[in-house]
Amino acid sequence: MVAEQLLGGLSDGEIGGIVGGVVGGLILLTLLLGVLLVVILLIISPKAPAAPAPAPNTVL
């Protein structure tokens, strides 16, 4: 195989393991950064004051 010659005699299984590990790590890193972004946005988002309850209409 050409890949074996270019990568110093690694088998297809070894190449797949390396590529899978790198891709899996990148996916995990992306998910962690997404969660971190959501948490940061929730922390710094301004809290809107609760609207006061309307007074009950007692006129009949």
Q: Where are the domains of the chain?
A: 2-44
pTM comes to 0.56
Distances (CA, A) of 32 to 27, 38, 44, 45: 9, 10, 18, 20
Say which residue, 2 or 53, is predicted with more confidence. 53
pLDDT tens-digit readout, 17-59 = 999 999 999 999 999 999 999 999 988 887 767 777 787 877 7
pLDDT score of 29: 98
User: CA 17 to CA 21: how far, in whole Å?
Assistant: 6
Which of the 8 DSSP states describes residue 55? P
- Contact present, 15 and 23 (Cβ < 8 Å): no
Q: Tell me how many degrees the CA angle 18-24-28 measures, rounded to the nearest 5.
A: 145
